[in-house]
Every structure is written in C-alpha cells, then in structure tokens.
Amino acid sequence: MAHVLVLGGGFGGLAAAHELRRRLPRGDEVTVVAMSDKFFVGFAKLWDLAGLRPLLDGTRPLERLANRGINFVQAEITGIDPAGHTVETTAGTLTGDGMIVALGATYRPANSALLGDGAFNLYHAAALPGIHAALEEMTEGRVLISIMGAPYLCPPAPFEATLLLEERLRKEGRRDRIDVTVSTPAPLTLPVAGPDASRYLADQLVERGITVLTEHHVESIDHAAGVVRFDRGRTVECDLLLAVPAAAPPPVIAASRLAGADGWIEPNKRTFATSAARVYAVGDCTLIRTATAQLPKAGVFAEAAGRIAATNLAADLYGGVRLTFDGYGFCFLELPGQQVATVTGDFYAKPRPDVRLTPPDTASFAAKQQWEQDRLTDWLD
Ligand SMILES: Cc1cc2nc3c(=O)[nH]c(=O)nc-3n(C[C@H](O)[C@H](O)[C@H](O)COP(=O)(O)OP(=O)(O)OC[C@H]3O[C@@H](n4cnc5c(N)ncnc54)[C@H](O)[C@@H]3O)c2cc1C
C-alpha cells in the first residue's frame, strides 16, 4: 500500500491530489498537508475588492477532501527531506512513498516590510477588510496600485484590480474626485504577453482616465507624508496604496535540498520531476524558464502541472501512462462591464512565447465564472 504526500492545498496541490486519487488503487493513501484550511481562486479577491461578490461566497473548506477519499492535515510544513519523502510539520512527522510539492509562493520580505499604515498588500486576502474600510472613508485623493517587483503572481491581476476599482469608484459617483494610477517596474504592462497585448491593456487603462507609470521601481514609502518614492528621484503622492509585492519562494522550500540557487525549485519543465526520485514540484513554488523569461505564476499552470505530476508519480509507483506539458495555457484578463479577454498560446515557444490576446466578451466572462465553479465543485463539494 503506497502513501503519497501532497504539500499544499492550492491549485497545484488539489489538482494533483484528485488526479492521484483517480489513478492510485483504493487502498493507497493520498494526504494533502496545508497551512490554510481553505481554498478560493485568486481572482475572487478582486471581485470582493470591486464589491461584486464577497470572497466567502467562493471559499471552500479543505476538510471536504475527506468526501473524496483524500486525507487533509492542516499544519505548517517546517522541513522537507526529499530523499526520505518525509516532512516535518507542526502536526508531527509525515513520511510517504512519493511527494508532490505545491507550496505556492510567498512575498519578497523587503517589499512586505515597506507596507502598513495605508499601504496594503493587494494580493493578501486578510488585507481586504482594511482596504474596504480605507476605500469607504475616501472622498478625494489618489489610489495608487503599484507592482513592486518581478516575478509576481498572475501578471494581469494588478491591472484587472485597477480597472475594476475604477469602475467601482465611477459607479459610486466618486471617480471625479479620486485619481487612479497604476505603476509597474516593467517597460510594458504585460511583458509575458508581448507588445501588442500590452498596448491594448494600456489603452484600456488610459481610456478610463487611469495614469499608467511604466519603469517605476518603488524604493521607499513615506507613510506619514503619503508619498511613494520611486527610482530616479520620482515621487507619487497617494492616499491609498494597494501594492503587489514580488513573489518569493517559501522559506521551507528555499532551505530544502530541492531548491536551486534562487531558492525556487526548478523541476523538469515537461514532467515536473525534481532531482529526487518520486518527488515532483508544481505551481508557484517553481521557476520554469521559458525562451524569454519564465512561465507565469498562475493557477492555470499550477493545475495543469499538478495533473501531469500526479500522473507521472502514479506511473513511477505502478507503471502506466506518463504525461508531458506542452507549454500551452491561458491567462484571463478581466475588464469592466463583465468582459473577459484571454492571453492564450504556447508559453514554451522559441524564440519567444507565441501568445495572443483574444478580444473581450461577456461569453468569456461567463466561462471564467464557470471555470471557478467547476474547480470548487470538482475539488471540494
Ligand atoms: C488577485 C489574484 C488574481 C489571480 N488571478 C488568476 C487568474 O485569473 N488565473 C490564474 O490562473 N491565476 C490567477 N492568480 C494566481 C493563482 O492564484 C496562483 O498562481 C495559484 O494559486 C498558484 O497555485 P499553487 O498551487 O502553486 O499555490 P497556492 O494556490 O498559493 O497554494 C499554496 C498552498 O501551500 C500551502 N502552504 C504554503 N506554505 C506552507 C507551509 N510552509 N506549510 C504548509 N502549507 C503551506 C498554502 O496554505 C496553500 O494551500 C491570481 C492570484 C491573485 C493573488
């Protein structure tokens, strides 16, 4: 009887756990270990921010994994021994016959250290009540949405947040007194999608009176004065800062033998195998190099990798089919008025990713809603 440990209960971990459950004999055990006892899709935070739907409505408890014959242990993983397929956790030591590592990413500490006091982490669910309170109090001034570094999760999300927030302020009749500005350290809004898609997105922002600052690196924040200082001596005054810190590898991964020089795991980009036998790594905790940069840190890719890794681990244990990832995927780009565009294509193509923007429509918005519901239902009903 085999026992597989799935580290993490996000996109990668849940996709892997269910695929393992499908492929392994009934008597084998699949155990998901995660710090958080809940799952929601990342974009549900933006719907909450925009006042479209509370985050709780799209949140499901991981204890429901038991209904599908998958064990769930809520604990913090404090050590990983890949060769022994063992993890140290706050709930004790767990050992399996194979392991899928899907621990996501955390935030770059130097970026997080700049936040607080009117400067919120836009991506952090726990920041939402504070953001709402600050927004409700605001009658005039400026909201600055600022990407602090790269890589960061889901490249379009800060711009989607900007557009949805602008729409909210407009609906509430406050937009004429509140300026909306978005900044990025990159030369384009969406480098991963190329210049055409970036220009399209910048046009969408500018058409709505949003100021777009490219090549702006946040250096410091003067909370008392309400000033964000960028490189080259540039400053922007703001009354509310919604910041997106750069992603960083979870410390437990950076400290493990699985980590490469930068602290991320760099598995095989097609099979997601790591250097340790029967240990796979998927999702945001990995660094997958592409021809020009790296595979975006997105749930779509974490999920695809989770399924492939699970299939390959099942084959390691019992033989059978093996799968490889072809690099194809997509990112949603949500625009106001319940419109969604997608950036779709081959992210592994050479000499550069071959991805295209499909124009926005309401059918794609409905598909995005359905995409979320399918995952909540298939994984955690
Ligand atoms: C605002 C926003 C919008 C987004 N929109 C999209 C979108 O439209 N499309 C898209 O594809 N992606 C989107 N994303 C990105 C997406 O949410 C992430 O890329 C995805 O969640 C990554 O999946 P993962 O499984 O690698 O990690 P996660 O989903 O982050 O899961 C990590 C898991 O590991 C657990 N964990 C971490 N450290 C430990 C530890 N030490 N011990 C125990 N457990 C631990 C966590 O509790 C969690 O269960 C968005 C993200 C944000 C923030």
Domain boundaries, the chain: 3-105+249-327, 113-246
Cα–Cα distance measured from residue 81 to residue 102, given in angstroms and rounded to the nearest whole number? 15
Q: Would you place residue 117 in the very low, low, confident or very high pLDDT band (cuts 50, 70, 90)? A: confident
- The reply to whether domains 3-105+249-327 and 113-246 share a CATH topology is yes
Cβ neighbours of 358 (radius 10 Å): 15
Q: Which residue has its alpha carbon closest to ligand 1 atom 11?
A: 299
How much is the pLDDT for 118?
Answer: 85
Helix axes 362-380, 11-23, angle to 10 degrees: 60
* Span from the CA of 161 to the centroid of ligand 1 (angstroms): 17
How confident is the model over 249-253, as a mean pLDDT?
98
Residues comprising the chain, all counted:
381
Sign of the alpha-carbon torsion through 41, 42, 48, 50: negative
Contact between residue 332 and residue 41 where contact means Cβ atoms under 8 Å apart? no
Contact between residue 106 and residue 247 where contact means Cβ atoms under 8 Å apart? yes
* Span from the CA of 10 to the centroid of ligand 1 (angstroms): 5
Q: Is 154 in the pocket of ligand 1 (CB under 6 A)?
A: yes
**Distant-in-sequence, close-in-space partners of 75: CB < 8 Å, separation ≥ 6:** 33, 34, 35, 89, 90, 91, 92
Tens of pLDDT, residue by residue over 131-172, are 999 999 999 999 999 999 999 999 999 999 999 999 999 999
- CATH 3.50.50.60 correct for 3-105+249-327: yes
Q: Is 284 in the pocket of ligand 1 (CB under 6 A)?
A: yes
Tens of pLDDT, residue by residue over 309-365, are 999 999 999 999 999 999 999 999 999 999 999 999 999 999 999 999 999 999 999
Cβ neighbours of 63 (radius 10 Å): 12
How confident is the model over 94-112, as a mean pLDDT?
98
Q: Which residue has its alpha carbon closest to ligand 1 atom 27?
A: 104
How much is the pLDDT for 274?
Answer: 98
* Span from the CA of 36 to the centroid of ligand 1 (angstroms): 11
| Pocket-testing residue among 32, 37, 41, 244, ligand 1, by greatest number of atoms within 8 A of Cβ | 41
Residue 45 CA, closest ligand 1 atom number: 1
Q: Which fold has domain 113-246?
A: FAD/NAD(P)-binding domain (3.50.50)
Residue 300 CA, closest ligand 1 atom number: 11
